[in-house]
Structure 1
Amino acid sequence: MALKATIHKAQLQIADMDRHVYGDHALTIARHPSETDERMMVRVLAYALNVTADDLNGRLEFTKGLSDVDEPDLWQLDLTGEVQHWIDLGQPDERRLMKAHGRARRVSVYSFASSTPVWWAGLENKLTRAPRLAVWQIPAEQSQALIPLAERSMQLQISIQDGSIYVSTSSASVEIHPVALKTASE
């Protein structure tokens, strides 16, 4: 018998001064049985970093993710079903990234493992032909600091200013400084 996803609810209050995106978002997160709290919280973080101020070009949504290898962790589809933004977590291989690059107007990757520098060193030169790809490293100690914030029902305040991210609850706060490994040229 297959294990079922665990449902988490998150109320996000986002204040992104860098992109001038502000708003409250009610998220329902289906956590795959093999997904860790750390990975789930990085998904929430990726949502906050990429949600748009309006839905004119489609909504940013969680996908089946780990349950479907043909989908990213998050994506933004426009009204015609075209992929505007493909967001993967972890350390996807070159073939997956180039396939995503062919399908989407924008591709972002958020890697959060301590092995990210080794993964990126083997991939960096192979992805020069992917101008719409951005790759970010969330330092492992910072992504792991998000674990205590993970609950079945969460209220998170996320403030972004000058590239620094502050994730807070009523009882704890985590500061994150993502490192750009590759920026998109578009």
Structure 2
Amino acid sequence: MALKATIYKVNLNIADMDQHQYTDYQLTLAQHPSETIERMMVRLLAFARFANEQLGFTQDLFETSEPALWEKDLTGQLVTWIEVGYPDEDKLKKASARCNTVAVVSYGSNVAEWYKKSSKIKTLSNVQVWQLSQATTEAVAALCQRTMQLQLNILDGEWNLISDHGQALIEWTQIQ
């Protein structure tokens, strides 16, 4: 019998004081049986970085041709393609031809090595590569609960994620 996904419910309140945007999102995340808590929480941070009403989670680990998140316009055309981890550069090249914006949210100890080997990515003008620090992903994973009430405060470029179980400083580095 196949293992089923574990469902997490998240109420995410984003207060971006830099952009004067304040929004609440009711999200459902499905954790694939092979996915770590850390990766699932990185997907949540990727959502927060590019948050809007049209952005949605996909079945990326169930369906390998899909990204972790995507945004489609009202006609169903892809606008934004967001990968998590260390995606294949050919997949990113195809996505960059189909979408206005392609983003990679990478984490872990092998980011620099992966990026150094990914020469095709560097030639794609609409691809952004973001890196989360190891301390960030560990702190965010520690906040994970099956039901989460999260407050993300953004002020002067500093991200602070707060829950009833603690808080985490989110450290982003844009590589490309």
Same fold (TM over 0.5): yes
Give the match's secondary structure for 1:51: coil
Partner of 2:111 in structure 1? Answer: 116
Partner of 2:36 in structure 1? Answer: 36
The 8 Å contact of residues 152 and 162 in structure 2, kept in 1 or not, is answered as yes
Write the distance in 2 (CA, Å) between the matches of 1:29 and 1:169.
17
- 1:174 counterpart = 2:155: no
Cα drift, residue 70 of structure 1: 0.8
Matching of residues 90-129 of structure 1 within 5 Å: 90-123=85-118, 125-129=119-123
The 8 Å contact of residues 163 and 178 in structure 1, kept in 2 or not, is answered as no
Matching of residues 147-158 of structure 1 within 5 Å: 147-158=141-152
Aligned length: 176
- Unpaired segments of 5 or more residues in structure 2? none
Partner of 1:163 in structure 2? Answer: 157
Write the distance in 2 (CA, Å) between the matches of 1:109 and 1:24.
24
Matching of residues 1-186 of structure 1 within 5 Å: 1-52=1-52, 55=53, 59-123=54-118, 125-182=119-176
- CA RMSD in angstroms comes to 1.2
User: TM-score, normalising length from structure 2?
Assistant: 0.95
User: TM-score, normalising length from structure 1?
Assistant: 0.90
Identical-residue share of aligned pairs (%):
43
Cα drift, residue 95 of structure 1: 0.4
Write the distance in 2 (CA, Å) between the matches of 1:127 and 1:92.
10
The 8 Å contact of residues 164 and 178 in structure 1, kept in 2 or not, is answered as no
Cα drift, residue 20 of structure 1: 3.2
Structure 2: which amino acid aligns with 1:126?
K
Cα drift, residue 163 of structure 1: 2.7
Structure 1: which amino acid aligns with 2:16?
D
